[in-house]
């Protein structure tokens, strides 16, 4: 727990690039599918902790919210933005994973008796680490965090669940998590759109957490790729085709993981393994200098423990 706390605070504090304000303006991906594209820099008071991409689906018989945001205030803004798109009621909230901006707005929707669904692994993750995430976000947002509470998902599934609502079918797929233990894919087969949550980062370097498992993350990405989506609404960055998601997420993870496997087999210590990591192909991604070393550190420790 202490190791996670230290890493968590470093994520909040070491990145110093200016943050972009979060404006809760939905971007249309396809008919009925919208994304809220967050800042690609650090979470901050200015961006209300929304350095992440979330979204919603309009089905004809109600709206499905994909991730409830970083606070009660953000959840209220998400709801207000949806009202500008459609008068349809919100029927369901899906949490795609266990990181703060995926679920800290749950309480706002639970107060309206709207079901909140997540993988069983995400519910367990929030129960275990939710207090830590909430404390960190409260420190970042200050008064803007007022009224936010820890609200667990009210429904869970183990591996797959299919939801039919109006004209849409949504398939919820848990393939083993990755960035956090419970990360899922929300797949719209008729539109060939996937909400990936934190299984996909684009437009910035991804972050490996102490709870991340890169081996599982790679398998989950492969499950996503097997769907052959036309568009991916990522966990971070703008809606993207599969090839960009593969390069900026899978290729990067596979590079580090493969390098660290060889380093551990060869008996290299962590410092030498990080020094010899050739990852300059990703150096142009924002926040590469800040995250490169600690990502490599975490993957080395994962491989060493296998």
Instruction: Give yes or no for residue 16 having a pLDDT over 80.
Output: no
pLDDT at 20 over 70: no
pLDDT over threshold 70, residue 5: no
CB 226, CB 199: distance < 8 Å: no
Beta bridge mates, 64: 57, 92
Residues 38 and 77 sit within 8 Å (Cβ to Cβ): no
What is the per-residue pLDDT for 240? 98
Cα 68 to Cα 12, 104, 181, 199, 256, distances in angstroms: 20, 7, 18, 17, 31
Q: What is the pLDDT, as a whole number, of residue 219?
A: 98
Rama region for 102: left / alpha / beta (φ>0; ψ in -120 to 50; rest): alpha
- Asked if residue 49 has pLDDT above 90, the reply is yes
Per-chain mean pLDDT for the chain: 93
Q: What is the pLDDT of residues 74-121, one digit of tens each?
A: 999 999 999 999 999 999 999 999 999 999 999 999 999 999 999 999
| pLDDT tens figures, 246-281 | 999 999 999 999 999 999 999 999 999 999 999 999
**pTM exceeds 0.95:** no
Which one-letter DSSP state was computed for residue 102? G
**pLDDT at 17 (0 to 100):** 43
> Homologous superfamily of 2-242 in CATH?
Ribonuclease Z/Hydroxyacylglutathione hydrolase-like (3.60.15.10)
Query: Band of the pLDDT at 23, cuts 50, 70, 90?
Result: confident
Residue 175 pLDDT class (50, 70, 90 cuts): very high
Find the radius of gyration of the CA atoms of the chain: 18
Q: Tell me: pLDDT of 1 over 50.
A: no
- Look at residue 87 in the predicted model and tell me its pLDDT: 97
Backbone angles phi, psi at 156, to 5 degrees: -135, 165
Query: pLDDT tens digits for 205-246?
Result: 999 999 999 999 999 999 999 999 999 999 999 999 999 999
Q: Is residue 15 pLDDT above 90, yes or no? A: no
């Amino acid at each position: 727990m202490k190791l996670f706390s230290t890493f968590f605070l470093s994520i909040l504090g070491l990145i110093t690039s200016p943050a972009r304000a979060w404006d809760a303006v939905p971007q249309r991906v396809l008919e009925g599918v919208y994304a809220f594209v967050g800042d690609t820099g650090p979470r901050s008071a200015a961006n209300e902790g929304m350095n992440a991409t979330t979204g919603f689906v309009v089905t004809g018989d109600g709206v499905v919210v994909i991730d409830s945001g970083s606070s009660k205030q953000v959840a209220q803004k998400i709801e207000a933005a949806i009202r500008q798109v459609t008068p349809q009621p919100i029927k369901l909230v899906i949490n795609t994973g266990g990181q703060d901006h995926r679920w800290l707005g749950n309480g706002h929707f639970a107060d309206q008796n709207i079901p909140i669904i997540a993988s069983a692994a995400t519910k367990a993750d929030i129960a275990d680490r939710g207090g830590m995430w909430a404390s960190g976000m409260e420190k970042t947002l200050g008064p803007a965090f007022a009224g936010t509470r820890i609200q667990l998902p009210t429904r869970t599934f183990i591996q797959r669940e299919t939801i039919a609502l109006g004209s849409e079918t949504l398939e919820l797929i848990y393939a083993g998590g990755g960035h956090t233990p419970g990360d899922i894919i929300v797949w719209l087969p008729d539109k060939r759109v996937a909400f990936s949550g934190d299984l996909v980062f684009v437009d910035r370097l991804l972050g490996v957490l102490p709870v991340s498992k890169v081996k599982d993350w790679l398998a989950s990405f492969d499950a996503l790729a097997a769907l052959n989506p036309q568009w991916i609404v990522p966990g971070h960055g703008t809606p993207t085709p599969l090839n960009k998601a593969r390069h900026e997420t899978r290729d990067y993870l596979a590079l580090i993981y493969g390098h660290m496997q060889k380093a551990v087999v060869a008996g290299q210590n962590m410092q030498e393994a990080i020094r010899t990591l050739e990852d300059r192909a990703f150096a142009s991604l924002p926040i590469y200098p800040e995250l490169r070393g600690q990502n490599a550190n975490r993957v080395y420790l994962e491989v060493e423990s296998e």
